[in-house]
A and B are shown apart, each in its own frame.
Chain A
Amino acid sequence: MNPSEMTSNTQNMPLYKPQEPVFPRRVNGKFRTLKWWIMGVTLGIYYITPWIRFDRGPGMPDQAVLIDLAGRRFFMFWIEIWPHEFYFVAGLLIMAGIGLFLFTSAFGRVWCGYACPQTVWTDLFILVERWIDGDRNARIRLWQKKWTLDKILRRTVKYTLWLKIGLLTGGAWVFYFADAPTLALSLFNGTAPMVAWISIMVLTMTTFCFGGFMREQVCTYMCPWPRIQAAMMDEETLTIGYRFWRGEPRGKHQRREDNSGLGDCVDCSACVNVCPMGIDIRDGQQLECITCALCIDACDDVMRRLNRPRGLIDYLALSDQSREIAGGAPRPVWRHVLRPRTMVYTALWALIGIGLVYALFVRSEVEFTVAPVRNPVFVTLADGSLRNIYEFRLRNKTGMPVTFQLGVDSTVDDMQMLVNGVAGTTVTVAADSISVRRVYLDVPASSEATKQHVSQVIFWIDSNTDDDRHYVQSVFNGRERR
């Protein structure tokens, strides 16, 4: 940029600016239709999911999706995640992250424009607003008008409806963390726990403020994603763009006059009026643009009425710009989407997904881990024999009590195994719970193992749930220290 193009006004320089109100106009078109569908599906999933029932047998919650924080269990249909299996959640989060990379490198901020809760709820709030106040021009007029009874009434109705949406949103959230029908009942008769009320209140107010008043401010100033996106996009990324080589010079086309000096853009401002971010896409890709594609719909509608080809504003890639200016046709979408970068992302995404699904299928209903006690490493017993202590963690993830038979394989002679708290080596673990047992390995003073550093041992368990014997390798520590 040329320094002469910069101005500096140190005397009267505002460092802060008031929020400029945005009144997006209603628009129809294929992208708007797609967005209505996405809104319906995502909001439907969000509000309905906690109410889906799923029979898990007696004593278990019958809610299909439940995050049981107190019981430290995460239920999702037939999948039950215990705290030690949190890597499933971590894996899902990594998949979500890579998925975001994939979609951003292929289609720019498609997440922001279509699926982000901020966009979806703002769309819903604008829908209500349009219903109460009318479309863009009526809303501008109402905004400029003095506070008359009509305005007060309309504002009251609008805010009430917004609050109700907010309340439903916050209300649906808490149902993921407790049995939905029980909690709903306790909310109605006032016996619900304080944390439920606070969660609902906070989420109601954030939904109300973010959807009703903050809107584009959240995306532009609060969200970090717009700033991170730039690193994910390249010249092949399809983002919303303006074919200025076709549109410029813009100007009003006059009937019965020669408009040949003008481009296709009739400067009707339709793209600006429908923009929920209040920007002019003809200025090029910019930080504020969430690629919601409503300007494409608006412009296509105008072009259709002017009998011009659609796509003056369209999903464009930077790499096609010079080709199109030279008169070439844009390359097909798949050429932009299928390239090494997106394929690497897809491969990574799929690999983690396959890994998670595999882990889900091979994980056992019963598990055991062995932690050798290091404090102390060994205990000398009265008869001179050496004792090692191990902490066994027996997990029974089934809905029935499970009997575990514990054992040890070792080359050490005369090794004796004792299980604390039970006679013999059989331990019964109650349904859906963990039993921690101290297990002792005693080796007589005469054994070589007492003098050595470590001897290998292999613990095993049999359970009455399956025929497989599960093994865990460990060591027996002798007196020899290194």
Chain B
Amino acid sequence: MTGKHKDTYIKADQPVETTGHEWDGIKELNNPLPRWWLWTFYATIIWALGYMVVYPSWPLVEQATRGLFGYSSRGALEAEITRYSAANARSDAALVNGDLASIAASPELVNYAMSGGAALFRTYCAQCHGSGAAGARGYPNLLDDEWLWGGGIEDIYRTIRHGIREENDDNTRVSEMPAFAEVLEQDELADVRHYVLSLSGAPHNPSLVPSGARVYADNCASCHGETGQGDREFGAPSLVDAIWLYGGGQQNVADSIARGRKGMMPAWQTRLSESQIRQVSFYVHQLGGGE
């Protein structure tokens, strides 16, 4: 038995090379890397140079260098969109040529319209109606069962296509709730407000109701109906139900009567294709309140 290997596995008889770097007595050992590692590093540099030639790389004043094959991520996206559009052409044709109400009968079309409609809704509609379609003050909740202009799929389709009070569309839905502050006296405004609130059982002053009913019959019944049931012909909301687009209660109703309301929705036929409009129509129709 020799002293070598006695208690340790370290090669005690071979001096260990250091790099000559020393910090507080701690020396850096030199365990050389394999040379191919270095070559791999150089190869990655050469690869990067090739990459710069093949792909857009150097930003210039107007645009980056175009690369050998003219690749661009925008171009790749466009190619992909074109490819998917071509793949969807058959579904689009079936959607456009068929009867709107018959979409529901074909599981394939339902699947297509639901996927497309949901994506389109989040892109174009969610800004006003909310990503969950719950709407906001002044923007109708699409999940409930009240529809200003009708909740059948044909009605929804027309609303989306031509918009509401859209100046540039001849077939848009038009009506206007006037500002009655210019028409009625102060006490008449108060009377009709209490009458309107009484229709849905909201808190009101019963003593003002009879006079309010007379003001209502003269000024409001032509659109909102004799009993306040509303009229979809004019987009006039029902005043007897629990839903208030601009909020219920004294203050909100007073504002609506005094200043009038004319919410606007764009006509989407200028921005969406016929198939896309039908997809969104189907999607909105099935959200819960479709008729």
Contacts of B32 in A (CB 8 A): 14-17
Cβ contact within 8 Å between B143 and A376:
yes
| B66 CB to nearest A CB, Å | 24
**B87 interface contact, C-beta 8 A:** no
* Interface bits B18-43 vs A (CB < 8 Å: 1, else 0): 11100001010110111111100000
* Interface bits A362-397 vs B (CB < 8 Å: 1, else 0): 000000000001111001111110010100000000
| A352 CB to nearest B CB, Å | 35
Cβ contact within 8 Å between A10 and B9:
no
- Report the stretch among B126-134, B171-179, B258-266 that lies at the interface: B126-134
Provide the bound-state CA to CA distance between A245 and B156, in Å. Answer: 93
**A217 interface contact, C-beta 8 A:** yes
* Interface bits A237-255 vs B (CB < 8 Å: 1, else 0): 0000000110011000000
**B233 interface contact, C-beta 8 A:** no
A284-B9, A373-B132, A381-B144 known; A5+B19 contact, CB < 8 A:
no
Contacts of B1 in A (CB 8 A): 244-245, 248, 325
Cβ contact within 8 Å between B34 and A17:
yes
- Which one, B34, B242, B286, contacts A382 given CB within 8 A? B242
Contacts of B271 in A (CB 8 A): none
| A198 CB to nearest B CB, Å | 17
- Which one, A1, A17, A382, contacts B243 given CB within 8 A? A382
- Which one, B11, B19, B242, B288, contacts A283 given CB within 8 A? B11
Provide the bound-state CA to CA distance between A15 and B28, in Å. Answer: 12
- Which one, A221, A373, A382, A440, contacts B146 given CB within 8 A? A382
Using a CB-CB cutoff of 8 Å, which residues 213-260 of chain B contact chain A?
A: 238, 241-243
Q: With CB as the reference atom, state the residue of chain B lying closest to A16.
A: B35
Provide the bound-state CA to CA distance between A8 and B8, in Å. Answer: 24
Contacts of A284 in B (CB 8 A): 5, 8-11
Using a CB-CB cutoff of 8 Å, which residues 27-76 of chain B contact chain A?
A: 27, 29-30, 32-38
* Interface bits A241-278 vs B (CB < 8 Å: 1, else 0): 00011001100000000000000000000000000000
| B86 CB to nearest A CB, Å | 19
- Chain B interface size, as a band, is 35 or more
- Which one, B5, B34, B286, contacts A420 given CB within 8 A? B286
Provide the bound-state CA to CA distance between A387 and B143, in Å. Answer: 9
Provide the bound-state CA to CA distance between A230 and B146, in Å. Answer: 71
- Which one, B11, B104, B242, contacts A383 given CB within 8 A? B242
**B167 interface contact, C-beta 8 A:** no
In terms of DSSP, what is the predominant structure of the interface of chain A? loop
Provide the bound-state CA to CA distance between A140 and B94, in Å. Answer: 73
- Which one, B9, B20, B29, B145, contacts A286 given CB within 8 A? B9
Provide the bound-state CA to CA distance between A18 and B1, in Å. Answer: 36
Contacts of B10 in A (CB 8 A): 1, 284
Contacts of B17 in A (CB 8 A): 6-9, 13
Provide the bound-state CA to CA distance between A54 and B213, in Å. Answer: 79
- Which one, B15, B19, B134, contacts A376 given CB within 8 A? B134
**A3 interface contact, C-beta 8 A:** yes
- Which one, A16, A19, A375, contacts B132 given CB within 8 A? A375
Cβ contact within 8 Å between B5 and A244:
yes
* Interface bits A425-443 vs B (CB < 8 Å: 1, else 0): 0000000000000101000
Provide the bound-state CA to CA distance between A64 and B286, in Å. Answer: 42
- Beyond A381-B242, A383-B242, A387-B143, 10 extra complex contacts between A and B, CB < 8 Å: A6-B16, A8-B18, A10-B20, A13-B19, A16-B38, A284-B11, A379-B134, A380-B141, A420-B288, A440-B288
Across the A-B interface, give the 5 residue pairs with the lowest CB-CB distance, nearest first.
A284-B9, A375-B132, A384-B242, A376-B134, A382-B241
**Interface CB pairs A-B, < 8 A, 26:** A1-B10, A6-B17, A9-B20, A13-B17, A13-B19, A13-B20, A15-B32, A16-B34, A217-B36, A244-B5, A248-B2, A249-B2, A284-B5, A286-B9, A373-B132, A375-B131, A376-B132, A376-B141, A379-B141, A379-B143, A382-B242, A383-B242, A387-B143, A420-B288, A421-B286, A440-B288
Give A contacts to B, CB under 8 Å. 1, 3, 5-10, 13-19, 217, 221, 244-245, 248-249, 283-286, 325, 373-376, 379-384, 387, 389, 420-421, 438, 440, 445
